[in-house]
Structure 1
Amino acid sequence: MEPSETERGQSREWRREKRVNVGPAERKASVVGGAALAVSGLRCISKRNYASGLAMMIAGGMFLYRGQTGHCGIYDAMGVDTVHTHNSALTITKAVTIGLPPQDVYEFWRNLENLPRFMRHLESVQVTGARTSHWKAVGPGGISAEWDAEMMEDVPGQQISWHSVGEADVPNKGSVEFKEAPGHRGTEVKVSIDYYPPGGGAGKVAAKLAQGINAQQLEEDLKRLKQILEVGEETTARRTVE
């Protein structure tokens, strides 16, 4: 199915958007520091120290932009991403080949509310904005977790990436790539997800939830995705939590 003109326009807007590559703590510090510099700049200008005042206001504006948008041009040039700076990430990567064109597979995944249909640990995903969504997950023993997520990249037919924002029960980030399979066999779908269990009691909850989110589970999830898209069927077996 060819994307509509509206969808093409939205895709162009997505590509123009700047990728979030500054972590939450840095964003807060940038806003505070930027505001302080701007105020200092105004004071200098009021004392007719125009050169220093203008320089401070420009620097303050740059820091405010960095904090409000979460994007840093210097980080982009250096290939740096501090959205997640945790050292104890649980990284899961799996791939599957699906007998459909990349655009078709992308469109199914891009509707984030489809994800719980094949990802067993997800209870629901609710789209809350053009780039934002709210996720609910369930793990062994009825352990549950929720978080808000923000999309970082959205390249139609090629890639989607996201990361959790705010006070997430289980901080995480992930990406999915859609590439044409060799021999025109369909689409190679590669999924990579990083989970960052927080410390304290929340960390224990996250660790228990992670027991149900592993490489084997992700592989089974992708097999369900393949079944849904190729056969038009999905398992109706009720989810069981050990």
Structure 2
Amino acid sequence: MQRHPARDALQGVLPARNLGDAERMASGTAGVATLLWAVRRGGVSGGLAALAGTAMLARAASGYCPVTEATSAKPAERRIAQKQGWRSAAAVVRSVTIARPPEEVYRFFRDVAKLPRFLQHVQQVTAIDETRSHWVVRTSLGHTIEWDAIITEDRPNERIGWRSVPEADIRTIGWIEFRPAPGDRGTEVRASIAYEPPAGQLGRLVAQLWGESPSRQAYDDLRRLKQVLETGEVPTPAMRRADADAAMPAAA
């Protein structure tokens, strides 16, 4: 079999194709037509059209579309949705190393009233009993939504699992694992979270466009958790500005 070193090297770098032949052909045809129109039109509108046409040609040539990627569920997400009986699922796995022992990190998580200290969009979590809690969350549009969750697994200092109750408007499941970090560096906290996006995959895309993707949220929340447990506080924008002002040399 003839080898193509350049092509083989790029296969590990370029994103995988997610468009069929018919979609690529349609995109290429539209791209050529848009470029021809841009040449005749000229000016600012023609320049913008040329950019759009070039993007469509690139889409056709590569067979990859980032919008399709954003709105398409991964195989693991499809399995989660099927198992949970959801229309679709958005899932993320994130981890962070915290310079505190697993016992301390576990105790912090187990006290649900402390969760809003690092979960940015969570306004309040109230314990109902040993396994059930009530959540109040602020959305990116300023509204609040509420639901009850139940702990499904509790292995002290190792793992906590939860899910929303069956009748909840927001359907979500997740696990938090606590593992000793190598080299006595504290605890590796691993979060695995999945939820059913409102309005299905369209809601998933809208969330990403608003910067509210579960992957980004999980990353930011775990970074805040690390700051809370290691320093006792989460720097606010005002605090960061004050630190920057204090670090500036005094004017002569």
TM-score, normalised by the number of residues in structure 1: 0.58
Q: Is residue 184 from structure 1 mapped to residue 180 from structure 2 by the alignment? A: no
CA distance 1:101–1:230, shift in 2 (3 Å):
same
CA distance 1:213–1:132, shift in 2 (3 Å):
farther
Q: What per-residue deviation string (whole Å, max 9, x for no partner) do you get for residues 148-180 of structure 1?
A: 001000111000010000432211011100000
Query: Distance in 2 between the 1:146 and 1:104 partners?
Result: 28
The one-letter amino acid of 2:176's match is V
Match of 1:235 in 2: 235
The one-letter amino acid of 1:115's match is L
**Residue 209 of structure 1, CA deviation:** 6.5
Indicate conservation of the 8 Å contact 1:172/1:195, yes or no: yes
Match of 2:146 in 1: 146
Query: Distance in 1 between the 2:129 and 2:149 partners?
Result: 10
Identity %: 41
The one-letter amino acid of 1:113's match is A
Unaligned runs of 5+ in 2: 1-79, 239-252
Query: Distance in 1 between the 2:213 and 2:137 partners?
Result: 10
**Residue 208 of structure 1, CA deviation:** 6.0
Query: Distance in 1 between the 2:170 and 2:204 partners?
Result: 6
Unaligned runs of 5+ in 1: 1-79
The one-letter amino acid of 2:136's match is K
CA distance 1:143–1:209, shift in 2 (3 Å):
farther
The one-letter amino acid of 2:123's match is E
**Residue 84 of structure 1, CA deviation:** 2.3
Indicate conservation of the 8 Å contact 1:115/1:125, yes or no: yes
Indicate conservation of the 8 Å contact 2:204/2:213, yes or no: no
CA distance 1:237–1:166, shift in 2 (3 Å):
farther
The one-letter amino acid of 1:162's match is W
CA distance 1:141–1:168, shift in 2 (3 Å):
same
Indicate conservation of the 8 Å contact 1:139/1:209, yes or no: no
Query: Distance in 2 between the 1:148 and 1:118 partners?
Result: 19
CA distance 1:119–1:224, shift in 2 (3 Å):
same
Query: Distance in 2 between the 1:106 and 1:136 partners?
Result: 22
TM-score, normalised by the number of residues in structure 2: 0.56
What is the 5 A alignment of 1:124-143?
Answer: 124-143=124-143
Match of 1:93 in 2: 93
Query: Distance in 2 between the 1:208 and 1:121 partners?
Result: 17
Query: Distance in 2 between the 1:207 and 1:171 partners?
Result: 18
Query: Distance in 2 between the 1:159 and 1:139 partners?
Result: 28
Match of 1:174 in 2: 174
Q: Which of the pair has more CA radius of gyration?
A: 2
Indicate conservation of the 8 Å contact 2:90/2:204, yes or no: no
What is the 5 A alignment of 1:74-223?
Answer: 84-197=84-197, 211=210, 212-223=212-223
Runs of 4+ displaced beyond 4 Å: 203-211
**Residue 139 of structure 1, CA deviation:** 1.6
**Residue 117 of structure 1, CA deviation:** 0.6
CA distance 1:141–1:225, shift in 2 (3 Å):
same
The one-letter amino acid of 1:216's match is R
